[in-house]
């Protein structure tokens, strides 16, 4: 059990090939990786279209599809805690013990650094295309988004009518009632 | 009890003649209408000046004034639930059973559609003038707002010094303390 | 609008003939009565079997059935606020202004009395039989509960399979999983 | 993806051999099982000694140790939602879609049954010994608890000093300060 | 600023001579003491009759009355956080940095010990009489409680009609409405 | 105890010489001042960099340094309550009784005025320089901020590496994960 664990936290709206790439790289540096699905309570919003359960399902299948050893990762949904100073304790409560934190977010980095964790930027990959924002934008514009995510993710998004959901949510409101 | 019920949800800041019009039209299509007072916890804000209690009182008197049969509607305050995927369950918990949802809001429409409700846009009326935003703007500028709401609503807003409240809230802050 | 209003707050699990009696008596003393459905967030529990929406529907129909003028009461669900010192402010926020408080609960009486409200015990009626606890007990034991509530309430409870719900909830758990 | 999924929810304080048994049996009936770690926010209490993260780690290793295919289960922590009528929606939000619910708890069974899920009692096993309550009691009394849980769970509980934690929590308070 | 600080947390319902005694003793061991008023959100309950504000006022005046140097203590109200594993982080967020924790409560001791704080039982004093529970019991029975608290506390409790509040709260409910 | 008390509420990010000036002036008008540390739950944000505990420590030392009589003020952290209509009740719960409210914020003024408090704008001082926003901006740009706060505050901010924290938080995120 004295394993070296790292944690990667992201909203994963949706999980994409960049996440898979990053997880593979992190697994070269640690024994086990904890993958935190951030803003777990959010969904049905243009920036956060998918529920925690949908994102967990997408990520799980994408990792299997990429032959990543399932005994080496934990997928854990994490709700937003609006008290920054408490957030690290919340993450600790929800996860196995870890030492290394991988994040590009300055707040996350600062909070963990103050609690004496080792903080790293996530390994490099093609960030311009492999980005949740880019994928959601393409879904809305009916541009090709499918090649930015894993085939199993395409299937799930089609099954749950994810693109239709995003398009519906983008419609202008018929006045304020 | 096997009545057909519809639901209309709005913040009603304040209730106006457009709401009355819409409720009358909906009552041509259903046996009973549930009127949800949205963002019930909000008040004392330029966009949400009135408390839930004030809005319930205004709407109740306006409906009586318009001779709408009180046994055919329910007025129910609804707090915001910041978990979209849970919101439909919250609305169901707070209301008698209903089948039809009247809303112009794309999020509300999507959430109820995913749960298999029949979703309709609210019947048409003069949306440009009969709008909470327009009424609040006129209150602030001392333009004529009174003819956009029912006479009983004018009385209540005067009694609770509603226009003064909005003007006070619009003042610029004397620096940050 | 300068009406004298009183408030009666109860969990109404379920509303019964005693409530109707009390509301009639209060309406002899005030112009309008606010009926607060307490612990609105509770349901599916042996002490709180019915949702707020179910209780609102039962009470509304019972009041209509008893020919109580619908323009003289407000039915408003109220969630528990676990900060006693804030509760009066929450009730005020959710209701039209009122002066008189009718309650047999010492905490409610004390909280409103400290805020300078007039506090009264609810008018007398046959409390032994007309009691939510008694009705729920009889439902569980298949004793005659129907004559303690209004006919429309019996219908609604049957339609929502309320007695079956209570019986199911009373079953012993098959061990802790 | 058109997999048949079942859900099993338990506090798993701690996960024990009975859980493994039940999960194996459920996997004979469904393609994938969702394992919900209930009361995820609770810890450091005599009835709920372990954090969500500790329980996830224990369960994950126990399942690996028992050679259960990791691509066939999801482990998802679930916080208590104190609004029963909303709880099913919360569970849905946090999980992949499922049809079958395995639970011995009457409230859980009733809530899911009302939402048209198929509800089953968990398959049989030796419930008297394989029980969280029994294991916690033995830990406190220094009786043999180790053979009721998987070897990997014993290791983890020792590493986090779990038995010491329970004993410390059981001490009598030195008066009220 | 490199001061040694200790923390003492108690509900202080109400603050009494035992608290003053303990605080004096702790101030022999540290430079500054942080006094946390626990369960700050609770009030108007037989076990928690006084608001946070009332308790802060009582304690402040009692400390002044006992000539304890006001530059050596902090009085900080602390709400209950129902997630034990997060509670230490909450306390840290609300207070200046401290090293020593004084508590007789096994949960508090365990939580801080797991986070590597130095944990001590509070110094001895006459616990049987100097106890919040004992004082509240005497208030209810009109026995002599006044000599267990500081004179300034007696004055404040009389001014806020504290004994009357407790007696009112202890009355039996007139049936369930 | 029949003291005249005033309240001043501010986020104090960080406390500065303007606050000290204002507190001195208020103490010329009242017997005791309650200093509410607003948005107590916020920290680690460019607009709210410091925790409640850090701000309490800074303010306490600054007041001592300025020889303000510690028996004449209370420092009380106050979390945001997102229900405006309830906020005054929350403030009352957390504080000794007060009559005068000093605030430049239109919402605070309106809320207290509606509850019949005497509301005043804070006494004048050099608001352009003595402003939290100005100080945070200078920290970020490495301009001279030190002369806008008390010497003890400079020391504390240096000890907790406050300027480094603000600079770290201002970095651009390395893409969205």
Query: Left if phi > 0, otherwise alpha if psi is -120 to 50, otherwise beta: which for D12?
Result: left
Q: Which residues from chain E sit within 8 angstroms of residue D44, using beta carbons?
A: 84-85, 107, 110-111
Question: What tens digit of pLDDT does each residue of C105-160 get?
Answer: 999 999 999 999 999 998 867 777 899 999 999 999 999 999 999 999 999 999 99
Q: C6-21, pLDDT tens digit by residue?
A: 999 999 999 999 999 9
Whether the predicted pLDDT of E127 surpasses 80: no
What confidence tier does B174 reach under pLDDT thresholds 50, 70, 90? low
Please state the separation of Cα D142 from the chain's center in Å. Answer: 23
d(CA C56, CA C71) in angstroms, rounded, equals 16
Whether residues F53 and E156 touch (CB distance < 8 A) is answered with: no
Please give the Cα distance from C89 to C77 (Å, whole number).
15
CB contact under 8 Å between D83 and B92, yes or no, is no
Judge whether C93 and F85 are in contact, CB under 8 Å.
yes
The predicted structure's pLDDT at residue D146: 98
**Which residues make Cβ contacts (< 8 Å) with residue B143, sequence separation at least 6?**
B137
What is the predicted pLDDT for the residue at D2? 77
Q: What's the pLDDT band for A151 if we cut at 50, 70, 90?
A: very high
Planar angle of CA D77, D151, D79, nearest 5 degrees: 10
Nearest CA in chain C to E41: C83
- The answer to whether the Cβ–Cβ distance between E156 and F1 falls below 8 Å is yes
Which helix H or strand E contains E104, and what residues bound it?
none
pLDDT of F1 above 60: no
* List of chain B residues whose C-beta atoms are within 8 Å of the C-beta of residue D83: 90, 93
Q: Which residue has tokens 């409700």?
A: B117
Write down the mean pLDDT value for chain B.
94
Confidence label for B175 from pLDDT (cuts 50, 70 and 90) = low
What CA–CA distances, in Å, run from C4 to B47, C69, C90, C107, C165? 30, 16, 20, 24, 40
Two tokens, residue F146? 């030190």
Alpha-helix residue ranges (DSSP H) falling in chain C? 17-29, 52-65, 84-94, 106-114, 132-141, 151-159, 162-169
Whether C174 and D111 lie within 8 Å, measured CB to CB? no
Contact partners for chain B, using 3 or more CB pairs closer than 8 A, are: A, C, D, F
* Chain D residue with Cα closest to A154: D1
Chain C contacts of F92, Cβ < 8 Å?
Answer: 85
pLDDT tens for B2-49 read 799 999 999 999 999 999 999 999 999 999 999 999 999 999 999 999
Closest approach of chain A CAs to the CA of F83, in angstroms?
16
- At how many degrees (to 10) do helices D151-159 and D52-65 cross? 150
Average pLDDT of span B70-89:
95
Residues 6+ apart with CB under 8 A from C47: C13, C133, C136
Give partners of E (≥3 CB pairs < 8 A). Answer: A, C, D, F
Q: A27 in the Ramachandran plot: left (φ > 0), alpha (ψ -120 to 50) or beta?
A: alpha
- The band of C45, judged by pLDDT with boundaries at 50, 70 and 90, is very high
Mean pLDDT for the stretch of residues B49-68:
97
* pLDDT value at residue E56: 98
In the prediction, which pLDDT does A127 show? 76
- Chains C and A in direct contact, meaning 3 or more beta-carbon pairs closer than 8 angstroms: no
Structure tokens given for C17: 């003939």
E137-162 mean pLDDT: 97
Q: Outline where A46-131 has alpha helix (H).
A: 52-65, 84-94, 106-114
What whole-number distance in Å separates Cα of residue A22 and Cα of residue F158? 36
Query: What contacts A108, CB < 8 A, 6 or more positions away?
Result: A9, A101
Give the C-alpha separation, A94 to A90, whole Å.
6
Give pLDDT, residue E103. Answer: 93
Chains F and E touch, contact meaning at least 3 pairs of CB atoms under 8 angstroms apart: yes
Interface list for D 33-72 with E (CB within 8 A): 41-45, 51
Nearest CA in chain F to E156: F1
Percent of chain D clearing pLDDT 90 (strictly above): 88
- Asked whether residue B153 carries a pLDDT value surpassing 70, the answer given is yes
Instruction: Tell whether the model's pLDDT for residue D174 goes beyond 80.
Output: no
- What average pLDDT does chain E have? 94
Whether the pLDDT of residue B108 is over 70: the answer is yes
Tell me whether residue C69 is exposed, middle or buried, using C-beta atoms within 10 angstroms of its C-beta: 0 to 12, 13 to 18, 19 or more: exposed
D95 to chain B: nearest residue by CA?
B85
Q: Residue E175: its pLDDT value, please?
A: 58
Residue E110 predicted with pLDDT over 70: yes
Angle, in degrees to the nearest 10, between helices D84-94 and B84-94: 160
Q: How far apart are CA C87 and CA D110, in angstroms?
A: 31
Contact (Cβ atoms closer than 8 angstroms) between residue D2 and residue D111: no
| Most distant pair of Cα atoms in chain C: their distance | 58
Structural domains for chain F: 5-169 (3.40.50.620)
Nearest CA distance, F32 vs chain A (angstrom): 31
Give pLDDT, residue C159: 96
Residues of chain F with pLDDT > 90: what percent? 88
Write out chain A residues lying below 8 Å of D92, CB-based.
51, 53
Cα separation, B136 vs B166, in Å, equals 8
In 3D space, the residue among F165, F152, F158 whose CA is nearest the CA of residue F20 turns out to be: F152
Specify which residues D37 forms β-bridges with: D10, D77
Nearest-Cα distance to chain D for B83, in Å, is 9
Report the pLDDT value the prediction gives residue B129, as an integer from 0 to 100: 84
What the block records as the tokens of B140 is 């602030």
pLDDT, residue C174, reads 66
What residue spans of D33-150 are helical by DSSP H? 52-65, 84-94, 106-114, 132-141
Choose from B34, B96, B161 for mutation: most chain C CBs within 10 A: B96
Asked if D76 contacts C149 with a C-beta cutoff of 8 angstroms, the reply is no
Quote the pLDDT of residue C175.
59
**Distance (Å) of CA B61 to CA B81, B145, C163, D22:** 28, 18, 37, 59
Q: Does E79 touch chain F (CB under 8 A)?
A: yes
Per-residue pLDDT tens over the stretch F110-127: 999 999 999 999 886 777
Cβ partners under 8 Å of residue D40, min gap 6: A94, D52, D77, D78, D79, D80
Residue B149 has pLDDT above 60, yes or no: yes
| Contacts D126 to C, Cβ<8 Å | none
For residue D51, list chain E residues with Cβ-Cβ distance below 8 A: 85
Tell me the average pLDDT across D92-112. Answer: 96
Q: Is the pLDDT of residue B177 over 60?
A: no
For chain F, what is the mean pLDDT? 94
d(CA B141, CA E17): 60
To the nearest whole Å, the CA of F56 is away from the closest chain A CA by: 15
Query: What number is the average pLDDT over the span F138-158?
Result: 97
Question: C57: pLDDT confidence band, cut at 50, 70 and 90?
Answer: very high
């Amino acid at each position: 059990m004295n394993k070296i664990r790292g944690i990667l936290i992201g909203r994963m709206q949706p999980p994409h090939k960049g996440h898979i790439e990053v997880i593979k790289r992190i697994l070269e540096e640690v024994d086990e990786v904890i993958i935190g699905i951030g803003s777990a309570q959010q969904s049905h919003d243009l920036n956060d279209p998918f529920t925690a359960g949908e994102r967990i399902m997408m990520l799980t299948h994408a990792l299997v599809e990429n032959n990543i050893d399932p005994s080496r990762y934990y997928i854990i949904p994490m709700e937003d805690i609006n008290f920054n100073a408490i957030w690290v304790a919340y993450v600790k409560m929800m996860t196995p013990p870890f030492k290394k934190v991988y994040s590009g977010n300055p707040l996350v980095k600062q909070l963990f650094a103050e609690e004496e964790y080792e903080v790293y930027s996530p390994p490099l990959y093609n960030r311009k295309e492999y980005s949740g924002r880019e994928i959601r934008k393409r879904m809305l514009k009916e541009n090709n988004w499918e090649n930015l995510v894993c085939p199993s993710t395409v299937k799930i998004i089609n099954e749950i009518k994810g693109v239709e959901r995003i398009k519906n949510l983008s419609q202008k409101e018929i006045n304020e009632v």
